[in-house]
Homo-oligomer: A and B are copies of this chain.
């Protein structure tokens, strides 16, 4: 029997570093920042090339269910709604239990909803290769992106020897490394044996649930009631399960602990579009070159800026390397290279109870 491929899109992240465009009620996956499409739209489009129509799933929070369904056109039964946010391990576990109930050998590709991967064809080719290997070998496969700069905002994967004769491109993973310091990141880049951890994973439902038993027993224990009634996908039982579930990233809960983890090194362009800076890079902002996401820039003598202008005419004089983001109720002006700290602003505003602007 051919491998049954499913795409499980995780749309749970808030994208706080995209404030003020990204808000609690309108988070990052819904932002139309690349070619006028939302990141979620683009992810769905890629997923459709990997999985058949009835094998594309989205996992999201209750507050986003309506928006997800409107944006994607998915039927209710393929939107898995989490009653509380419990990080990615639980989201993947929920999907694996649900999909695996019908077909434990189904291959799941776990795809964050808010990444940029311009070369969809190359991406889908490698994802299918990973799916075949995951199916053949029962491995947990993580996509490892060839780094192009010593980025300190990504986690890294140290590549080990070839994983199997049958799948020569697959490699064992020696270890996962958290976001490194700059000097360490430079060493990784030079060494050639480190890849970016893109947070894109491929495994069978059976394999990931088994490895959760081993690596994250408290998670497996929380999932047990769902496994006993895998067709229950909402209501009190799911709420009780979520209330008790640990909040863990899938990387930490399973991938970093499992002995069955392989990686497929890929060289196509990928970005998690995590900050205004990385979006600026995606859009081609460079010294002297500004990019306008929306609105009208009537003057900009230096360039090198990212502007989301809303309904105002924007004039920039003598400034460069800035993001100017105007959402009508909030105006953010930040140095692009400081934009990862935008989450500090959001954190402080939340502390102050400013739901009106977060």
Contact = CB atoms under 8 A, between A and B. Distances in A.
A326 B312 contact: yes
Contacts of A314: 330-333
A1 interface: no
Interface stretch (A24-32, A150-158, A278-286, A340-348): A340-348
A319 B334 contact: yes
Interface residues of A, number: 34
A62 interface: no
- Total copies of this chain within the assembly: 2
A318 interface: yes
A316 interface: yes
A169 interface: no
A40 B65 CA distance: 56
A318 B338 contact: yes
Interface string A313-325: 1111111001010
Nearest to A352: B298
A296 to B, nearest CB: 9
Contacts of A345: 298-299, 315, 317
A324 B331 contact: yes
Interface of A: 20, 298-299, 301, 309, 312-319, 322, 324, 326, 328-335, 337-339, 341-342, 345, 348-349, 354, 357
